[in-house]
Structure 1
Amino acid sequence: VAAVSASPSQQRAAMWVASALISVIVSAALLRHYAEPHTRVYILALVCFSWSLTFFIVLLLPFDLEHAFCERCRQGAEELERDPDSCACLPNPGIELLPTCISFAYGTTMLLGYVMNDLLMGYINSGEFSARGKLRDAMREAAIFYIPAAVIGIGFMLWLIVHDGLTFTTIRALGRAFVNTIGLFILVAFLGYGLVEVPRSLWNQGDTLGQLRYLQFKVAIKSEELQAARRKLDETLELVRSTDVQLRQEAASAASQGYARLQANMAQMLGRCPTLAAAAPMPPARDSESGLKPPLGSPGSPKKGLSSPGAPAARAPDRLTHKALVALHLRLIKALASDKRARGMYELYVRQGIRQQAVVERYNRALSRWQ
């Protein structure tokens, strides 16, 4: 009764607020489930805002469709000289704001999805030591693509205006259609992959022995990747240590104050090294107490300090400069990410292999009881 007796302004506010709240709650729940622990707060905030706008568009879509069907019904009733009020239409207060809201949400989502994503990746993966340097490095990386693309786009827009006499509104519609076409191509590619891969994965899960052999193969591959990542990480750590020793020697023998900044930058890199050196790969998957055999035929757990005998030793740069430390810091960041990714995939397939072997053994025990 309260909902029926509510004024149009209250209904309008309830519709918009409910859609916004549901969008934010759903986005926050997905981030809580999928986001990696210790993710930076500003990244979570931007992703949550972008996802909320996307869900906001989806939640408002039924209102838009219902309003379109209602208007079509009323136009048909007027043509047939019937009463337009006979159409069963839902109350849509504030529906005139929908085009503006969708345009704003669409443009902001595209901006966050394309531009902000590249800026954040460049900022996080930058080898600079200060926030200002990271931002400058990210802007420089983004400018490599976006400035030529903007020049080409503006030139093409001017050509359309001069040659075909198109208006700005028409060009904006063409640009939006072009972006939508790219999105549709991506959607078709994802659907083409998912509609084939998902049924195939479900079909293969019915073959317990085949799944176990597949996981054995994947663990062997991921173990080799983890060993390679660990070797690269160890070489990078050794290079950081040798560079630190060289920097201390040069700072002690020089009277210049220019080494203070380099030593502060080196301290930031050394702050990463203890955690990296203490990180150990997962041992081979064995569980003697539960009777599980080493299910995955792992070639052995990678160990810290593995390096090929013929590999050259890590060597510090001849001349220590800020640019050299930035390059070394970038190499350390990449080695950290590679080791973390390889270790995570290795442990994931090991856990899946242990569970799959348990399934196979339960199946064999059940089969032996029935024979």
Structure 2
Amino acid sequence: MLGGAVAVAAGAVKVAAKTTLTSSTASSHTITLGIVAGSIFAVCIGILVVRYPYHRATPWYVYIGITVGYMCAFSVVILLPLDIDYSMTATTAEDQLAHQETMAGLWELAYNTTLIWAYLCSPIMNQYSRSGWNTIGLRLKDSLSVNGVFYGTILTVVTTGIVTLALMHKIDITNIYGILIALANTWGLVLLVSLLAWGLVDIPRQIWKSARPAEGIERVYQ
């Protein structure tokens, strides 16, 4: 089903791109087609998220968070066909310049949105859902506190490393953004490696066990 949703969205992009591209409006059509294809893809993902893992006790904001997360992860499915198609059809220097400026902005938007959602919004929502407090304010405070300790530790280590490299004249202010991107990619690789071998079985099993409150209570009182 998810593969079908991807095919529908990618097909819509390809067909629309071939029928609406003109020399004077390439940039505006790129944005329009991206919005249309993204909307179709969001609807497909939303239907799949609500239909298959549906549970009455699951809060509505969890479904929204999952849908946005999937959209961020699969945004490349929307942007890549657009980028390739316009790269092949842009013939004049004006079209190529419009294409480069528009697609560069869309790629940066997709990357930064994914980065913010993965490292800020999603962890806060995750801890908020797992918090044992009863009120919204206390659950939000607990989520911010837990994530604050985690990211505060990481920020301290990263800041110490950057300051050390700066004092050694290894880096300057212009390439800090690249260093942050490299660190984010490194974290992804570390997570991928941790899921290899036994982690591929054990980590999902631990998540599955933590999602069963009855068994969790039994383990606590054993």
Normalization by structure 1: what TM-score? 0.42
Identity across the alignment (%): 19
Which position in structure 2 is the counterpart of 1:32? 50
Deviation, 1:176, is 0.6
Tell me if 1:3 matches 2:24. Answer: no
Question: Is the CA contact (8 Å cut-off) linking 1:126 and 1:137 kept in structure 2?
Answer: yes
Which position in structure 1 is the counterpart of 2:145? 140
Tell me if 1:153 matches 2:158. Answer: yes
Question: Is the CA contact (8 Å cut-off) linking 2:128 and 2:139 kept in structure 1?
Answer: yes
Question: Is the CA contact (8 Å cut-off) linking 2:131 and 2:139 kept in structure 1?
Answer: yes
Q: Distance in 2 between matches of 1:22 and 1:185?
A: 33
What do the CA deviations read for 1:260-293 (whole angstroms, capped 9, x no partner)? Answer: xxxxxxxxxxxxxxxxxxxxxxxxxxxxxxxxxx
Tell me if 1:180 matches 2:198. Answer: no
Q: Distance in 2 between matches of 1:28 and 1:22?
A: 10
Which position in structure 2 is the counterpart of 1:212? none
Aligned Cα RMSD in Å?
3.8
Residue 339 of structure 1, aligned match among 191, 214, 218: 214
Question: Which blocks of at least 5 consecutive residues in structure 1 are unaligned?
Answer: 72-83, 198-228, 230-333, 343-371
Q: Distance in 2 between matches of 1:102 and 1:42?
A: 26
Deviation, 1:25, is 2.0
Superposed, which structure 2 residues align to 1:310-349 within 5 Å?
337-339=212-214
- Higher helix proportion, which one? 2
AA aligned opposite 1:141: V
What do the CA deviations read for 1:211-270 (whole angstroms, capped 9, x no partner)? Answer: xxxxxxxxxxxxxxxxxx9xxxxxxxxxxxxxxxxxxxxxxxxxxxxxxxxxxxxxxxxx
Tell me if 1:59 matches 2:78. Answer: yes
SS in 2 for 1:164: coil
Tell me if 1:123 matches 2:128. Answer: yes
AA aligned opposite 1:338: P
Which position in structure 1 is the counterpart of 2:62? 43
SS in 1 for 2:168: helix
Which position in structure 2 is the counterpart of 1:270? none
Q: Distance in 2 between matches of 1:145 and 1:188?
A: 21
Residue 19 of structure 1, aligned match among 29, 32, 37: 37
Normalization by structure 2: what TM-score? 0.65
AA aligned opposite 2:212: A
Deviation, 1:173, is 0.7
Question: Is the CA contact (8 Å cut-off) linking 1:67 and 1:92 kept in structure 2?
Answer: no
Q: Distance in 1 between matches of 2:68 and 2:214?
A: 31
Q: Distance in 1 between matches of 2:47 and 2:174?
A: 38
| CA distance 1:122–1:29, change in 2 (3 Å) | same
What do the CA deviations read for 1:141-191 (whole angstroms, capped 9, x no partner)? Answer: 11221111111111212222222252333121122122223324545666x
Deviation, 1:7, is 5.4
Superposed, which structure 2 residues align to 1:1-371 within 5 Å?
3=20, 8=25, 11-38=29-56, 39-65=58-84, 94-164=99-169, 166-187=171-192, 337-339=212-214
Q: Distance in 1 between matches of 2:79 and 2:70?
A: 14
Question: Is the CA contact (8 Å cut-off) linking 1:31 and 1:48 kept in structure 2?
Answer: yes
Deviation, 1:111, is 2.6
AA aligned opposite 1:50: G
| CA distance 1:23–1:162, change in 2 (3 Å) | farther
Question: Is the CA contact (8 Å cut-off) linking 1:11 and 1:93 kept in structure 2?
Answer: no
Q: Distance in 1 between matches of 2:22 and 2:103?
A: 24
Question: Is the CA contact (8 Å cut-off) linking 1:23 and 1:55 kept in structure 2?
Answer: no
Q: Distance in 1 between matches of 2:117 and 2:19?
A: 40
Question: Is the CA contact (8 Å cut-off) linking 2:45 and 2:70 kept in structure 1?
Answer: yes
How many equivalent residue pairs?
Answer: 187
Deviation, 1:12, is 2.9
AA aligned opposite 1:122: Q
Q: Distance in 1 between matches of 2:45 and 2:97?
A: 25
